[in-house]
Amino acid sequence: MTEEQKIFKGELFSPGAPELRAMKLVSHNLSQAYSQAREDETEKRAALAHDILAEFGEGSFMQGPIFFHYGKHTRIGRRVFINYNFTVQDDAPVTIGDDCNFGPNCTIVTPVHPMLPDERFLMYNENGEKKHMCYARPVVIGHDCWFGANVVVCPGVTIGDNCVIGAGSVVTRDIPSDSFAAGVPCRVIRPITEADSMANKPEILGANSVIRE
């Protein structure tokens, strides 16, 4: 079994294994190239995004700078907007649905390290070799979600459709669909309902109107 296969199986793996280091180096260099590209170099940026990621949906946009650890372990849906300083440590797979929006400085992490310091330093692998090892848990984000600035999504979390995650939140557990959630750790504050429509906020709506289809 390869180290990457161990990641996908949820087992301990060695992040320093040559095969993984080679994959990460490619992603790190491509992430740097994207971050250094000008915003109006749209064709260059589009090509780089497709080189970095397993999937980058039509109409999606990453402001940059960005950082993807593996890149090819991440899938981003259509019409996703990603603001400055987006970091994805995608040892395990990361899936982001359509029509999501991320504020500045959002981070998604998947790796988990042993709690005991001696185990965190070294463990024996299947060949009896001493290795630094960790494991990883996938992150899944549904469609039509909004993430405020400085949100951190932790390993193993699933966030349902139509959620709003408040700025500065640290999401450590699953969030059900149609929820407003915030805090450290993040918790569901209340459901999002039709009462939240801008149609009910005329002082903010002004002369504009809500589209009903």
For 179: left if phi > 0, alpha if psi spans -120 to 50, otherwise beta; the answer is: beta
CATH-assigned architecture of domain 3-205: 3 Solenoid (2.160)
198 pLDDT more than 90: yes
- The answer to whether the beta carbons of residues 106 and 89 sit under 8 Å apart is no
pLDDT (0 to 100) of residue 150: 98
The catalytic residue among 50, 73, 113, 143 is: 113
Quote the CA–CA distance of 102 and 200 in Å, as a whole number: 25
pLDDT (0 to 100) of residue 89: 98
Mean pLDDT of 93-116: 98
Confidence of residue 134 (pLDDT cuts 50, 70, 90): very high
Mean pLDDT of 30-50: 97
Mean pLDDT of 128-146: 97
Mean pLDDT of 121-145: 96
14 pLDDT more than 80: yes
Q: How much of the chain, in percent, has pLDDT values that exceed 70?
A: 100
pLDDT (0 to 100) of residue 212: 84
pLDDT (0 to 100) of residue 183: 98
Confidence of residue 120 (pLDDT cuts 50, 70, 90): very high
Mean pLDDT of 52-77: 98
Q: Is 113 a residue of the active site? A: yes
Which is nearest to 107 in space by CA: 20, 171, 37?
171
Per-residue exposure over 128-150, b if at least 16 CB sit within 10 Å of its own CB, e if not: eeebebbbbbbbbbbbbbbbbeb
213 pLDDT more than 80: no
119 pLDDT more than 90: yes
Q: Looking up tokens 């490619």, which residue turns up?
A: 26
Confidence of residue 131 (pLDDT cuts 50, 70, 90): very high
Q: How much of the chain, in percent, has pLDDT values that exceed 90?
A: 99
The overall pTM is greater than 0.85: yes
